[in-house]
Amino acid sequence: MARMLLDISQLPQGVLTYTNKRFFDFIEGFCGKDEADLLSIQAIRSVDSFLFIEDVYSIFTVDSEDVIEIQTRCAFKNRNGTFTVKPGIKSSLNYVLSLLKEMKKEAIKQKKNHLVSTPLIVSTTLVNGVDSSSIDTVISPFISKKNEAEHNEFIITSIEQWFVQNTSAINFRNINFVCGIDYHLKFSPSLDKVEVLCSCGSTSSLVLAESDNFKKYSMTEALLSIPLNVFDLRDKDFFNFIEQFCGEAVMEYFELLGVRSVNSLLGIDDIFAPLQEDYLELVDIKKKIAFHRSDGSYIIKIGIQHDVNKLMKTLRNLLSNKAQVINDPGNSNELIFKSEVFQQHPFLKRLIDFYNNLLQNHDTTNEIFLHHFLDNILSNIPMAKSRHRYQEEVLDFAICLFILSGRNAYEFLRRNIPGALPTITTVQTKLAKQGFRAIEGEFRYTDMIKYMSTVNSKFAFCAEDCTTVQRKIIYDTRSNSFVGFSPPLDEYGMPRMKHFQTNSIEDLKRWFQQEDISNLVNLYMIQPININNQKISPYALAAYGTNVKYTSFDVIRRWFTIFDRTASQGVRLIGYSTDADSRYVLAMRLVSGFFSSLLNSPTTKHPLLLTVGIPKSWSWFFLPAQQLFLCMQDAVHICTKLRNRLLSTKAVLMMGDGLISIDYLFQLIQSRSKFYHNLVKSDICPTDKQNFKSCQKLCAAIECLQEINGSYATVVYLTIIRCIIIAFIDSSTTTAARIYHAWLAVYTCRLWRIWLNLVPQENFNKRLSQMATLSDVAKNEFKQKTTKRSFFITSTAFFCIELNAHNLTYLTLLVAENQLPSETLNVSLFSSQTCENFFRLSRSISGTFSTNVNFSVQQFLNRQEKISMLNSIKTQSSTSSSSTKFVFRNHHKTQQNHEHSSIPPEKMTKQQVEEQVERAFKDAVSLLLPLGIKDVLQKANIVNMNQVSRHVYNDLNRSTKKANFFKPITIDECYDESDSDSDESVSPEDPNNQANGLYSWDDDDENNEDEIEDDNAVHLLPQTNNIRLQAMKGVRDTINPDLQDSYFL
């Protein structure tokens, strides 16, 4: 596009001072009538307004009948209802605008460089033709060198001459212009510069220049803008002033509002607010100063808005100058306040001290938020509420405050600290723009990638978990679908998005009758791994309602889909972690090939397949050398499962010559003070199944428990739990210690399992008969058990311990071979606790006066948006790129864990790993030695680590799972199809079974685990035996069937 020549000579002299009719005549003559009417209808009534209004074409976006005629004349109407300005109209206006801007630049240059030998003459048109921004200053060059008094007298005389010459143009009565009252002069120490401080707030600089040994002053900025007695103007004089400054329409509007002075004008927050109300007296004036939109609201004409804003800004500058702040004549770098100001407002001194300290200790990489907060408040206080603006730091702070405190607390603070916080609408708009709001079943890969790039991470762990929700159907306006029904899964195991969309009430009725309503919400969390070992908040990838009617194959397909989608965008998922549910355990076994076989698995030919070199001497390591991703069960859930097994009344755990029983813990609590063991009866309450703190307290009391006679087997059992905590939960554990404790737990369970498999039946009967804590009825009942699962931990818990130890070792080998960074060894992050923490936050995010901590699926999605935004702000605040850092509350334990986790995990060689595993085996044997297990193993010729590993391998290999990736089957079908050790009725007297494993190992016992662990709190009474507890549970059977629903859920 060719550029036109800007020839300002074609513009009339003095065009910069044109206003009102003279301005419109100029535009019509230079451009045309359409262009003049386009500016006139918007009340753009002067060159000054024309130059400083950003978009004179915004009128074409206004939906009002008042502007249809000018829109039709000056623009083309598109099919979608929008308008496009005609090229000729736009070109002519842009050309004259460019000419005026160029002329403005030339005027500024002349102001700086023009030298003539006439007295000081300043030309300004505050209202009628004088442009305050184009001042021509002239000073006689024939001035000899003077002292300050002579310079002062000369400047005062020159300004008085200028004032006399321009009084008629200003057209105001009773005006005096006195130095020391209406303006002040401040000379520099060298007398080469003077500043003119006007009472209106503007500042002008007079520079002493030298040319041919002669002196002169040149004014560089506007000296005056409004009459100095403007605060004294009332009624007619005030309305004349408003008419000259803003036009007749604004003057009439002020008259109707009863605004008769500057003080009353400045006391109104939003001068145009009455236009939005339906007042009969304002009907006519609305047509002059605003456009009536089709929705009934009014939009102020852009020219009037510009003139009024300029007036308000100038008046506020003048008002701030009335605060008695003046420059110190002796020091140009300091300010002097009158003593009365400090007496009335003593906080000003403290505020000045604060900023002085801030300047002395300024750190651009760690700016305190208070600085931005105060700056924002002070900037907003003199402005109308509609013109309050907020810095990004303040907006982020407001979002955090709104999320953490709730609506009521936030609104209380906002209303009582004016200008400090934006409205809730602004906060919600900011939240919506961040893109953290998700639709049910939507996996937000793109947003996840953005978050990963923000935290500079390319590796992550993925966690999956469920929590209960209210069974409620809600219509979601954003997705135009009903949320609360359980969405079906597609062929990739992914939930179908927006599946429940309809315009038919019949469809909705049918859904209520036939479809399941979600009673759980399934959440996927991404935990980034930072190469700088920095703590990073997790990211909520997806959430959707579920009815738990899915299989392990749905889980497997979903995992493969998520892995491929994230890998295609440059993020490597290290692996998945879940909550030790039997379906997920089976899925992990099938995916990793841990005593299972998945035919046609996508893993075999995947380009991102991981491979490590496993030494042939590692007979104890059963995981295949090739893995696509790793799998770990959440260690917290494993610990609580083991604790629940200990507290169960339907399981007797036998370990060698000892009995694992809760009764020993009762004895400890009753015989010793709490200050000794720190235990209470609630720690061994079987009804609280997810009490992980109880696991920690029980493990901490191991040394105390050893003093209880006969408790050694229980001590060993609690040692297994403690090993899992140290290996997978404690963030301060070294890599070597993780390997050791993980395999110590594994070998303790392996030796225990082998002993149970080998011990003869008569030994069981003998031991049961010798148990004083069991009644005769209980002893006979346990003698009739047909499987050994009642004397061992559940198969799911056993496989979880095995899987975690193997995957930890595999991950260590990957780091040793430099396939992954060492930061990925932070396995304390490799858990589903990210989901659990998210659920806890979601329940705690309810308002102060709300007692409902639970939520529906849709309500959870709403809360997910807020928590994700809060986590994002936390992460950005903690990064080194953020200059302003928010300080969030941290629990002292979290603070300690973070300090420990700041140490990057160390690499280990294969030799070092092997040494830790061998040490774990020896310690496991020593740990079980007092229980008499070694004698049974020696009789079977199982004495070293290789023999133990071979026996366990053969035992587990008999229960290998086989499945086809392309042939989906249910979890029960999979177990029935491949479980060679399924539960079967075997007579206890059968001698053929006494030689090798009298009882079979049922890997499907997790289906009955809820029944096993559903114990009653009355077991806290030490005299209550197991049989009595079971009888107590039959109380439901004595209730009238018609009334059962009234008492039981």
3-class SS letters over 349-418: HHHHHHHHHHHHCCCCCCECHHHHHHHHHHHHCCCCHHHCCCCHHHHHHHHHHHHHHCHHHHHHHHHHCC
Q: Which residue has the higher pLDDT, 767 or 47?
A: 47
Tell me the C-alpha distance between 652 and 789, whole Å: 9
pLDDT at 255: 87
Range from 117-126, 845-854, 890-899 carrying the lowest mean pLDDT: 117-126
Residues 6+ apart with CB under 8 A from 87: none
Give the 3-state secondary structure of residue 545: strand
How many CB atoms are closer than 10 A to CB 412? 11
Which residues lie below 8 Å from residue 64, measured CB to CB, with a gap of 6+?
291, 292, 293, 294, 299
Greater confidence (39 vs 767) lies with 39
Q: Give the residue-averaged pLDDT of 1036-1046.
A: 56
Tell me the pLDDT band of 719, cut-offs 50, 70 and 90. very high
CA 86 – CA 93 distance, rounded (Å): 11
Q: Is 1019 exposed, middle or buried (0-12, 13-18, 19+ CB in 10 A)?
A: buried
| Phi, psi values for residue 317, rounded to 5° | -60, -40
Task: Quote the CA–CA distance of 678 and 662 in Å, as a whole number.
Answer: 16
CA 771 from chain centre, in angstroms, equals 56
The span from the CA of 663 to the CA of 661, in Å, is 5
- Quote the pLDDT of residue 787: 62
Q: Does residue 495 sit in helix, strand or coil? A: strand
Q: Which two tokens stand for residue 305?
A: 């808005």
What share of the chain in percent tops pLDDT 90?
30
d(CA 740, CA 921) in angstroms, rounded, equals 9
Q: Does residue 704 contact residue 668 with C-beta atoms inside 8 Å?
A: yes
> pLDDT tens digits for 323-366?
433 344 444 445 556 667 777 778 887 888 777 777 766 665 55
Q: Determine the pLDDT at residue 115.
A: 34
Contact status, residue 243 vs residue 251, Cβ threshold 8 Å: yes
Q: What pLDDT is attached to residue 365? A: 54
pLDDT for 780: 59
Alpha helices in 171-301, H assignment, sequence order: 235-246, 248-257, 262-266, 283-289
* The predicted structure's pLDDT at residue 650: 73
Mean predicted confidence (pLDDT) in 788-796: 82
Q: pLDDT-derived band of residue 146, with 50, 70 and 90 as boundaries?
A: low
Token duo for residue 105? 């630049």
pLDDT interval class at 140 (50, 70, 90): very low
DSSP β-ladder status, 335-337 and 325-327: antiparallel
As a whole number, mean pLDDT of residues 208-225 equals 39
The lowest-confidence range among 41-55, 471-485, 660-674 is 41-55
Mean pLDDT of 245-258: 86
What whole-number distance in Å separates Cα of residue 861 and Cα of residue 439? 8
Q: Tell whether the model's pLDDT for residue 161 goes beyond 80.
A: no
Q: Mean pLDDT for the chain?
A: 77
Average pLDDT over residues 613-619: 93
Map 453-482 to HEC letters: HHCCCCEEEEEEEEEECCCCCEEECCCCEE
What is the predicted pLDDT for the residue at 43?
Answer: 83
Cα distance between residue 885 and residue 893, in whole Å: 22
Q: Which amino acid is at 677?
A: H
What's at 624, amino acid-wise? P
Residue 493 has pLDDT above 60, yes or no: yes
Among 144-153, 176-185, 416-425, the minimum mean pLDDT is found in 144-153
638-673 confidence digits (pLDDT tens): 999 999 998 887 777 889 888 888 888 988 988 888
User: The tokens of 443 are what?
Assistant: 């996996």
* pLDDT top residue among 94 and 504: 504
Q: Which residues pair with 131 in a beta bridge?
A: none
Q: Residues of 204-238 as b/e, b for ≥16 C-beta within 10 angstroms?
A: bebebeeeeeebbbbbebbbbbbbbebbebeeebb
Q: What is the pLDDT of residue 489?
A: 93
**The pLDDT of residue 578 is above 90:** yes
Hey, where are the domains in the chain? 1-108, 230-322, 363-433, 445-577+823-844+853-871, 635-807+915-967
**DSSP string over 739-787:** HHHHHHHHHHHHHHHHHHHHS-HHHHHHHHHT-TTS-HHHHHHHHT-SB
Task: Give me 1006's structure tokens.
Answer: 């997790």
Distances (CA, A) of 843 to 61, 542, 874: 44, 18, 19
Q: By percentage, how much of the chain surpasses pLDDT 70?
A: 74
Find all residues with CB under 8 Å of 795, minimum gap 6, and list them. Answer: 789, 1001, 1002, 1003, 1004, 1005, 1006
What confidence category does residue 814 fall into, taking pLDDT thresholds of 50, 70 and 90?
Answer: very high
Report pLDDT for 835: 93
- Answer whether residue 972 shows pLDDT above 60: no
What size, in residues, is the chain?
Answer: 1049
φ and ψ at residue 906, rounded to 5 degrees: -95, 155
Strand pairing of 596-599 and 961-964?
A: parallel
- pLDDT on residue 203: 62
For the cut 90, the answer to whether the pLDDT of residue 559 exceeds it is yes
C-alpha to C-alpha distances, 522 to 153, 478, 489, 584, nearest whole angstrom? 83, 20, 13, 13
Residue pair 174/229 in contact by the 8 Å Cβ criterion:
yes
- 798: confidence class by pLDDT, cuts 50, 70, 90: very high
- The b-or-e profile of 760-792 (16+ CB within 10 A means b, else e) is ebeebeebbeebeebeeebbebbeebbbbbbbb
- For the ranges 153-157, 643-647, 898-902, the one whose mean pLDDT is highest: 643-647
**Do 294 and 63 touch, CB atoms closer than 8 A?**
yes
**pTM value?**
0.62
**Which of 436-445, 563-572, 1000-1009 is modeled with the greatest confidence?**
563-572
Buried b / exposed e over 82-111, threshold 16 CB at 10 Å, is: ebebeeebbebbeebeebbeebbeebeeeb
Give me the pLDDT at residue 1001, please: 43
**Statement: residue 996 has pLDDT above 50:** no
